[in-house]
Structure 1
């Protein structure tokens, strides 16, 4: 039997760096529009809630595509699908920088989301199959750290580039950077050794989805992913609108720098993976949710230092919770891990699309405090569900 990738080996370093690059490219391309929402609203003449569709349609496309890509990878293999997805997504990212029609931008962003669906679930499945079980929590934490860095730089650089040359330079620059990361991914990632191809059968695929949905623990994890990601995206979608208005009046660059709190997410996703072995998954998950709720409460105070502190606490908790929940999916699924991961991430990105847009309506009609109240309620519900794991 082929050996697993073991912590400390040369293959471990290559594989974790490759997955880090893949996570970076995926989430830089996905979230680069978030700090640009006020500029997009002004340029295309749309409302704040409508501008959030530039992100919501992408995550919606990603959610739907995950079910297909996860199924195809059970027959075609992990690495070929991931490589194709990344290169196609980078090409679409470059195309978005050239459009001047709002509806065409939304179409391209939807297609970009579909293309990106070929990486997240498959990366999680690859880690579950190829890494030594003792090394898996740390490897998953490193991958989640790469997604955090991608989200950070995608938002940070777009803020800077948009002030230098507008939103078109920002989108084009991020796509070029994603292409470089994708090339490194192709070069570094070892081929699968433990993947066993399954015949592409609709009956088999539906049977796998049915078994996963019948698993009570997985249903809880899917629901948690919907609430966690929806809350996270909603907060960061509308913090830009809140802080660009009076009394803060922050520029695009300064709002972009707020996303430096993602560095804490890189640390917390790794730390959470290590703490699970010592404290247990449920304990670490509940502690992370408490941190997110505390961050929401700090954001209620209209004082910039406390708002930044609240974002930092919220982000730290989110990435810790996501890392723990992602690892639990692979452990509780048994077989057909790519499809289990696809269902988890489908719920994750549906949360981003649905709550990201609905909370825009709350922000537009009622304001900042009711928005935070809705997010706090979602997190309390998540705690109740996590307690049953």
Structure 2
């Protein structure tokens, strides 16, 4: 294969990966901007309506390792096909139901099969591509997770009027089906294991009980635990006094999330220059200050605080992943699968726990709840400086 045809193949693969991962992550946060709308329509509590987001993350936690394992045993194409169909059908069910329990069940099914489109794809890329192509394509993968998270929020609360939130599920289902077909066409049908990292014999158990690596798993979990509740309960904060924002205006605030597309590479460079430990500590300090800013009843403080939340979170996340992989000599795929497991487990615990805090003390309860976990990335940073 010539260099030109190889480059064209890489670009096509990047586009297919970017499209499918973006569409998958769009489904995760689809209901987040419209939680007050859903709460009123279905007549449920704040904690119950938060399940429409947290149950998706819980589903991802449950099935992530399974699909990582399955992708080593089966060709990627049938896994993607089954995953795409199941996520789309569950989305259609969510759009059509008037039973809140069925809505939550449909969201759980989406969470269970999203790793078929994301974790399996990442494992296939790591197993199949040579390292020089893998780093390029995985850059698209990471950017797609950020864009998909933002896209889901915009689709749910802005592109479609909130009272027609059901159309957002129809749109997301169509997007999943189209991008799945695109991936099935573009991804080469090969069983060749080009990248030797995919054939590792390192066990999940040895990676889980490695004390140094375990700290990075917890760092990712703690970071997402603090990040998820902020954006999940933000609509309640901005819809109430003293702001009284509309759903469309609240959704616009989520545009701060796009900052994450640029912060990953910047955090990596800072880590290389100043060390991972120092960068983690700096990210934690920024995160803590930003959380405090969100207690002030000023839209300028809220926007500045949210920008700081994104800066601190994406810095901690990027550095933790980088430190994890730099400590590995083998088993990169399984170690990263464990990181993702802890990461989403932290997100689910954060949204659920903050729901009780919100019921008890409102927005102030949410902020003080997440502040309790600043110690996790701080301790990780201090240990990496020692």
Equivalent in 93, 102, 119 of residue 100 of structure 2: 102
Q: Is residue 341 of structure 2 the alignment partner of residue 346 of structure 1?
A: yes
How far, CA to CA, are the matches of 1:263 and 1:70 in structure 2? Answer: 28
Where does the alignment leave 5 or more consecutive residues of structure 1 unmatched? none
Which residue number in structure 1 is paired with residue 194 of structure 2? 194
Question: How does 1:263-282 map onto structure 2 within 5 Å?
Answer: 263-282=258-277
How far, CA to CA, are the matches of 2:248 and 2:68 in structure 1? Answer: 37
Question: How does 1:16-95 map onto structure 2 within 5 Å?
Answer: 16-78=14-76, 80-95=78-93
Q: Is 1:56–1:352's contact at 8 Å kept on the other side of the alignment?
A: yes
Look up the SS of the partner of 1:217 in the other structure: helix
Q: TM-score, normalised by structure 1?
A: 0.87
How far, CA to CA, are the matches of 1:90 and 1:353 in structure 2? Answer: 22
How far, CA to CA, are the matches of 1:324 and 1:102 in structure 2? Answer: 39
Which residue number in structure 2 is paired with residue 369 of structure 1? 364
Q: TM-score, normalised by structure 2?
A: 0.87
Look up the SS of the partner of 1:367 in the other structure: helix
Cα deviation, residue 316, structure 1: 2.8
Q: Is 1:73–1:338's contact at 8 Å kept on the other side of the alignment?
A: no
Q: Greater shift after overlay, 271-280 or 251-260?
A: 271-280
What RMSD over aligned residues (CA atoms) do the two structures have, in Å? 3.1
Q: Is 1:37–1:51's contact at 8 Å kept on the other side of the alignment?
A: yes
Which residue number in structure 2 is paired with residue 218 of structure 1? 213
Q: Is residue 287 of structure 2 the alignment partner of residue 292 of structure 1?
A: yes
How far, CA to CA, are the matches of 2:11 and 2:308 in structure 1? Answer: 30
Cα deviation, residue 273, structure 1: 4.0
- How many residues align structurally? 381
Where does the alignment leave 5 or more consecutive residues of structure 2 unmatched? none
Structure 1 pair 258–344 and aligned structure 2 pair: CA distance change class (3 A): same
Which residue number in structure 1 is paired with residue 115 of structure 2? 117
Q: Is 2:80–2:180's contact at 8 Å kept on the other side of the alignment?
A: no
Which residue number in structure 2 is paired with residue 252 of structure 1? 247
Q: Deviations over 1:18-58 (max 9, x none)?
A: 33223211210111111121111111111111110111111
How far, CA to CA, are the matches of 1:373 and 1:138 in structure 2? Answer: 39
Cα deviation, residue 229, structure 1: 1.3
Q: Is 1:141–1:270's contact at 8 Å kept on the other side of the alignment?
A: no
Question: How does 1:127-138 map onto structure 2 within 5 Å?
Answer: 127-129=125-127, 133=131
Structure 1 pair 131–9 and aligned structure 2 pair: CA distance change class (3 A): same
Structure 1 pair 325–90 and aligned structure 2 pair: CA distance change class (3 A): farther
Question: How does 1:163-174 map onto structure 2 within 5 Å?
Answer: 163=161, 165-174=163-172
Structure 1 pair 32–44 and aligned structure 2 pair: CA distance change class (3 A): same
Which residue number in structure 2 is paired with residue 315 of structure 1? 310
Structure 1 pair 184–288 and aligned structure 2 pair: CA distance change class (3 A): farther
Structure 1 pair 136–384 and aligned structure 2 pair: CA distance change class (3 A): farther
How far, CA to CA, are the matches of 1:83 and 1:282 in structure 2? Answer: 41
Cα deviation, residue 102, structure 1: 0.8
How far, CA to CA, are the matches of 1:306 and 1:108 in structure 2? Answer: 37
Look up the SS of the partner of 1:387 in the other structure: helix
Cα deviation, residue 388, structure 1: 2.4
Q: Is 1:152–1:259's contact at 8 Å kept on the other side of the alignment?
A: yes
